Amino acid sequence: MAHVPAEDQLEHIAAAIDEIATADVQRLEQLRTSLLGRKAGALTHVLRSIPALDAEQRRTVGRRANELKHAIESAITARERTLAAAVGTGPAVDRTMPGRRRWRGARHPITQVVDEICGIFRELGFSRIMGPEAETEEYNFTKLNIPLDHPAADMQDTFYLKPGVVLRTHTSPVQARTMERYAPPIRVVVPGLAYRRDPFDPSHAPVFDQIEGLVVDEGVSFVDFKAAIDFFAKRFFSADTAVRFRPSYFPFTEPSAEVDAQCQNCRGTGCSTCKQTGWMEIMGAGMVHPAVFEACGIDSERYTGYAFGMGPARIAMVRYGIPDIRMFFDNDMRFLDQFLE
Amino acid sequence: MYASLNWLGRLLGTELDPQETAERLTVVGATVDAVEPVHAELGDVVIGLVEQVGKHPNADRLTLCRVSTGKGTVEVVCGAPNVRAGMKYPYAAAGAVLPGGFKLERRKIRGVVSNGMLCSAKELGLGADQDGILELDTVAAPGTPLLEALDLADTRLEVDVTPNRPDLLAQRGIARELAAAMGLTVKLPAFEGAPAVPAARRVKRSGSVGGIEVIVEDDEGCPRYGAAVIRGVRIGPSPEWLQARLRSVGARPINNVVDATNYILHEINQPLHAFDINDLRGGKLIIRRANDGERITTLDGEDHPLTSEMTMICDADGAIAIAGVMGGENTEVSDETTDILLECAYFDRRRIRATRTALRMDTDASYRFERGTDLEGLPAALRRAVELIIAVAGGEEPEAAIDVCPRLPQPTTVFLRPSRVEHLLGVAVPQDEIERLLGSVGFTLAPRDGRLAVQVPGWRPDVTREVDLIEEVARLRGYDSFPVEMRPFRPTTVPDAPSELRSALVRQVLTALGIHEARTLPLGPVGGEHAQPVQNPLSSEETHLRTDLLPGLVRSVERNWSARARDIRLFEIGRVFRATTGATPPVETLRIAVVLTGARQPGHWADVSGIDFDLWDLKGMLEEVVGVAAPGGAAVAPDGADGWEVTGPDGTVLGRGGELDADGPPWAAPLFGIEIDLAVAETPAVRYRALPTTPPIERDLALVLPATVAAKDVEEVVRGAGGSMLESVAVFDEYRAKELVGRSVAWRLVFRDPSRTLRDAEVDRSVNQILRALKERLGVERRES
Ligand SMILES: [Zn+2]
């Protein structure tokens, strides 16, 4: 065969492919050996001879030889399957058998909610920043217009670390830190942990997530505030979600508001989740109190702004139907597996 | 705070709808959390008329009554001594549910069937028993629901009152808000049987009333003190209407004098205190600071040490009440009391707060005083209280009350610019509308110099500056009246925090590596030299701030193990704290920690099963984490220690990784952990390198390493000796066998020149150079094959 040109040998091999489709078990084994065998296989022989050919031939013969190799292999595999099926061992590939998976990890469900909320505010031009969890009384209370000798200080039960130093009871101290460091226009959201001396129960934890928001610029009004919050709520929940602003009181905002979104569970008709009110409290908010501007060295005549604070854990509980806030800290793999994205 | 719908209706002179009222209050900022019927538990009780009282055949103390129930006549066994034929009593039929959820059954009492029961006041939760069952003086027919017959039907609104609005702690304050919304006015009803009470006489620092000398020494703690003397009161139960009012707002009736003072508290938010004059020693009442070390035993029997920062009410012999917090037990009004001194005072908010905080007391009075009572309205409150006490308990004033007030309060005036209203609220509110809105809740306005001079009523201590009035305008106009309209805004000057960006990247990489994000509590039981303790922890499990993340994650692993999970992969990004000396807050560091245990990948039927994470997975994971969380850092193996340390470019230790000790179940796989500081430095920007177009040449080198030589040493020599053609060096095998001295490690070397195709001979020369260098520098030789 050594005298037969490689091209002719290949045509000869190609002719043998047709036979594969009708071969029985024995003949199939013979064909495999005669074509692909490591020692005497016809195609193996051609492939070995390629380095000795001239450049032009190398290319054409090489390409054709490899094509034939794939064609022969797949024809043999196909015929094997057909023959195996015929003798009753089932299909050669049972496509209902499980595929091979890899481990995947999920962001914590609270992180997912935090990221989504911060993402929506990013559309409104808010950057995302952070601040310390251990704070001075000055930043946690005084600069936020919460005198310690005023009942408003009782709204939060505080962990003390040492005289004058507390674990922040809200993310609001970052408002003061931001105003002292940056000049307006300020548009920031601040996710982070806050601490209150509330013992654990299904809906309270001594450590909880908050997202603070702050806007400061010339000419920012209550209308801008309502528009931003309404935009957020409709984007986060759904476009047809009703939003309600109720007058309220926070020492660091005025006018202050509690913001309610239509209950996502009952769509406003009343259910046990919303205590039959049809509404879900989503945040406390309001226009930045001029006393806060003054404490942070910002001209309260020239600048106005709004601020808000919300609890992503509570929102996550409603969104995912989680009955107990403690599950967020248990880190049970079966729980976390449910939040794969 | 509870509001009674009946009470509010009386103040407004109209009937109120519960839901509509709740909605009205909520939209003006007095959020109604719940609307519930008062005495709903008495819904099954009706009027029963006892037609005949007979003897019980088997018991002397019991009677057998024929009772007309409106649905017929039934026999009821009764044990009360006061039952009489022809009288009406509350009747509960068999099957009725009484307060406390108690369901009445038809049953035999001493052999005779009793069809229901005649009830006492106590059984109905309507007060203490007097003589037995509750005699009803009513024209209502038998069968009429008791709630209707006694006018007990009422609705209670639970109002969430914010700390800035003390006025809303009373029915009148709530009624004012409703009046503003409904265009009505609030009118306090006159008390039946009340005499014409003269106005209090104003004195500056001291004066005498009914033979008692009242002296205010501490006018800082007590800027105003009203006192009335009433002689000849008869202590007894209050009339039914008064008891019903108190019950409707959740207060318990006690006796007529105490009930009257509580009524005024709940009606107009003025706390009052009645002293028994016969217990006042020396005919004097002195309001002064306590002496340090002085003590008092209060009504609740508790003994309190006092300081000079507290204001006391004293008689000639010593303290008889802690001003604005609680009275003492020695001057308490008792059933024998006939003469009282009624205190109606204004105490300084801060003083009361400091006092009750120091004494750890929190009373109804202190709650209201520290939020601020109506300094200007005090004389009127005193007068109304005297009227009510005389109306319900009798007695008379020997002379007009006194009003001790060194400086008469001036109403606060706050200036409001209508232009500022528009500036802050974003909508122009016409001046006449501003005037109408503020006027509707008691502000009086006068234009002055283009602004509005707004006089603040005494019950609104929260309003002190312009913005407070703008909030009033917004809230009274209704937050709904402001449009939701997105207006242009300018971009922020504040960049994203690098740590937030870095954390996001770490989360992305680690979740892609199959690890779940966890959250553990930053508070834990672990102390230690650098741990910051919490001064007032909630429990012994949460006494310190964490100094490391891994202990919390290991606890989570253990919890998973006890839930029979074997494959656990968790990471956390969180703060750790290190205590500082002095007054500064502890130092906070952002960290990332990972724990891994169990199968390297989910099991698959076609694979060899049971491959668990091992040390090399940990090292690889550590390198991944370092790459993303601490760029420029490296994992190094310290001498004499297990695992790896992560060092920064300057050699500082940033964290560590290795196998962890944990008390796992027998079936658990080894547990590995990583904890490193999260860098905030920016990662160097990526620079593209041209892709090679020339072919590589590979050479495998199997080397025998003496025990003292590490793979890292070999790689350094190989790279140094390989020249510029050496593109990469990688271990692909390790082999240890008895016949070898040391171990055999195999490297694959890839050579390439990006500008031309290399020839085998050149590569061979380079390999020989490498082998020579290895032999000279490390004594490493090629393995004989
Ligand atoms: Zn609902």
Note whether B717 and B777 are within 8 A (CB). yes
pLDDT at A1: 44
d(C-alpha B83, C-alpha B56), whole Å = 13
Query: B43 C-alpha to center of ligand 1: Å?
Result: 29
d(C-alpha B32, C-alpha B1), whole Å = 10
Q: Which of B163, B494, B559 sits opposite A182 (nearest CB)?
A: B494
d(C-alpha A164, C-alpha A158), whole Å = 11
Per residue in B70-121, pLDDT (tens digit) is: 888 888 988 888 888 888 999 998 888 887 778 888 888 888 888 888 888 8
Q: Does A182 touch chain B (CB under 8 A)?
A: yes
Per residue in B722-759, pLDDT (tens digit) is: 999 999 999 998 887 766 667 899 999 999 999 999 99
Residue predicted with more confidence, B209 or A85: B209
Q: Which of A100, A134, A247 sits opposite B604 (nearest CB)?
A: A100
Burial zone of B231 (CB within 10 Å; 0-12 exposed, 13-18 middle, 19+ buried): middle
pLDDT above 90 covers a percentage of chain B that reads 69
pLDDT at B147: 82
Note whether B717 and B701 are within 8 A (CB). no
Residues of A in contact with B535 (CB under 8 A): 159-162
From the CA of B621, how many Å to the nearest CA of chain A? 14
d(C-alpha B741, C-alpha B425), whole Å = 86
Q: What number of C-beta contacts closer than 8 Å exist between A and B?
A: 267
φ, ψ for residue B278, nearest 5 deg:
-65, -15
Beta strand pairing call for B634-636 and B644-647: antiparallel
SS3 B421: helix
Cβ–Cβ of B585/A219 closer than 8 Å? no
Per residue in B228-261, pLDDT (tens digit) is: 999 999 999 999 899 989 989 989 899 999 999 9
d(C-alpha B503, C-alpha B516), whole Å = 14
Question: For residue A110, what are its two tokens?
Answer: 């609270």
φ, ψ for residue A47, nearest 5 deg:
-60, -40
Chain B window 157-196: which residues touch A at a Cβ cutoff of 8 Å? 162-165
Cβ–Cβ of B424/A304 closer than 8 Å? yes
Per residue in B546-605, pLDDT (tens digit) is: 999 999 999 999 999 999 999 999 999 999 999 999 899 999 999 999 999 999 999 888
Cβ–Cβ of A105/B568 closer than 8 Å? no
Cβ–Cβ of B370/A249 closer than 8 Å? no
Note whether B644 and B635 are within 8 A (CB). yes
From the CA of B142, how many Å to the nearest CA of chain A? 37
Cβ–Cβ of A160/B534 closer than 8 Å? yes
Q: Does B236 touch chain A (CB under 8 A)?
A: no
pLDDT at B464: 96
pLDDT at B108: 85
Residue predicted with more confidence, B253 or A111: A111
From the CA of B133, how many Å to the nearest CA of chain A? 39
Residues of B in contact with A257 (CB under 8 A): 479
pLDDT above 70 covers a percentage of chain A that reads 96
Determine the residue type at B37.
P
Per residue in B30-71, pLDDT (tens digit) is: 999 999 888 877 888 899 999 988 888 888 888 889 999 888
Query: A243 C-alpha to center of ligand 1: Å?
Result: 14
φ, ψ for residue B197, nearest 5 deg:
-95, 130
Cβ–Cβ of A224/B607 closer than 8 Å? no
Residues β-bridged to residue B203: B404
Cβ–Cβ of A111/B489 closer than 8 Å? no
Averaged confidence pLDDT in chain B = 92
Q: Of the given ranges (A270-284, A288-302, A314-328, B11-25), which has the lowest mean pLDDT?
A: A270-284
pLDDT at B609: 67
Q: Of the given ranges (A195-199, B98-102, B718-722), which has the lowest mean pLDDT?
A: B98-102
Stated length of chain B: 785
Residues of B in contact with A179 (CB under 8 A): none
Per residue in A63-106, pLDDT (tens digit) is: 788 888 888 888 888 888 777 777 766 667 788 889 999 999 99
pLDDT confidence band for B286 (50 / 70 / 90): very high
Query: A282 C-alpha to center of ligand 1: Å?
Result: 13
Q: Does A125 touch chain B (CB under 8 A)?
A: yes
Measure Cα distances from B460 to A50, B158, B375, B445 in Å.
101, 21, 10, 15
Note whether A335 and A115 are within 8 A (CB). no
Q: Does A124 touch chain B (CB under 8 A)?
A: yes
Q: What angle do CA B721, B727, B733 make, to 5 degrees?
A: 85
From the CA of A109, how many Å to the nearest CA of chain B? 9
pLDDT at A274: 85
pLDDT at B129: 59
Q: Measured between alpha carbons, how far apart are the two ends of chain B, in Å? A: 91
Q: Of the given ranges (B492-496, B704-708, B756-760), which has the lowest mean pLDDT?
A: B704-708
| C-alpha B126, offset from chain centre | 33
Query: Which residues, including other chains, have CB under 8 Å from residue B691's CB and lie 6 or more apart?
Result: none
Best probe of the B interface among A145, A182, A222, A232, by most B CBs < 10 A, is A222
Q: Does A327 touch chain B (CB under 8 A)?
A: no
Mean pLDDT, residues A287-308:
97
Burial zone of B400 (CB within 10 Å; 0-12 exposed, 13-18 middle, 19+ buried): middle
d(C-alpha B145, C-alpha B43), whole Å = 7
Q: Of the given ranges (A108-117, A261-270, B199-208, B473-482), which has the lowest mean pLDDT?
A: A261-270
Per residue in B507-533, pLDDT (tens digit) is: 999 999 999 999 999 999 877 789 999
pLDDT at B128: 65
Mean pLDDT, residues B706-717:
91
* ipTM computed for the complex: 0.87
pLDDT at B740: 66
Note whether B38 and B158 are within 8 A (CB). no
Other beta carbons within 10 angstroms of residue B782's beta carbon come to 14
Note whether B109 and B77 are within 8 A (CB). yes
Residue predicted with more confidence, A73 or B618: B618
pLDDT confidence band for B785 (50 / 70 / 90): low
pLDDT of B344 higher than 50:
yes
Per residue in A169-182, pLDDT (tens digit) is: 999 999 999 999 99
Residues of A in contact with B496 (CB under 8 A): 127-129
Query: A313 C-alpha to center of ligand 1: Å?
Result: 18
Chain A window 150-169: which residues touch B at a Cβ cutoff of 8 Å? 150-152, 154-155, 159-165, 167
Q: Where are the beta strands (DSSP E) in A81-164?
A: 127-128, 134-136, 160-162
The answer, yes or no, to whether the previous bond of B665 is cis (omega within 30 of 0) is no
d(C-alpha B557, C-alpha B669), whole Å = 11
Other beta carbons within 10 angstroms of residue B709's beta carbon come to 20
Chain B window 570-629: which residues touch A at a Cβ cutoff of 8 Å? 570-571, 575, 577, 583-586, 588, 601-602, 604-607
Best probe of the A interface among B169, B425, B494, by most A CBs < 10 A, is B494
Per residue in B125-173, pLDDT (tens digit) is: 777 656 788 888 788 889 888 888 777 788 999 999 999 999 999 999 9
Query: A280 C-alpha to center of ligand 1: Å?
Result: 8
Cβ–Cβ of A124/B489 closer than 8 Å? yes
pLDDT of A252 higher than 50:
yes
Cβ–Cβ of A246/B479 closer than 8 Å? yes
Beta strand pairing call for B73-78 and B59-68: antiparallel
From the CA of B470, how many Å to the nearest CA of chain A? 7
pLDDT at B451: 94
d(C-alpha B275, C-alpha B228), whole Å = 10
pLDDT confidence band for B182 (50 / 70 / 90): very high
- Alpha-helical runs (H) found in B394-540: 418-425, 431-439, 466-477, 498-512
Cβ–Cβ of A150/B480 closer than 8 Å? no
Cβ–Cβ of B353/A151 closer than 8 Å? yes
Query: A272 C-alpha to center of ligand 1: Å?
Result: 6
Question: Residue B183: which of B476, B465, B418 has the closest Cα?
Answer: B476
Question: Residue A130: which of B147, B496, B93, B107 has the closest Cα?
Answer: B496
Q: Does B537 touch chain A (CB under 8 A)?
A: yes
Q: What is the CA radius of gyration of chain B?
A: 42
Helix (H) or strand (E) holding B340: strand B339-346
- A325-328 own/partner pairs: CB under 8 Å, 24+ apart: A325/A200, A325/A202, A325/A203, A325/A204, A325/A205, A325/A208, A326/A200, A326/A202, A326/A205, A328/A108, A328/A109, A328/A110, A328/A205, A328/B519
Mean pLDDT, residues B353-374:
92
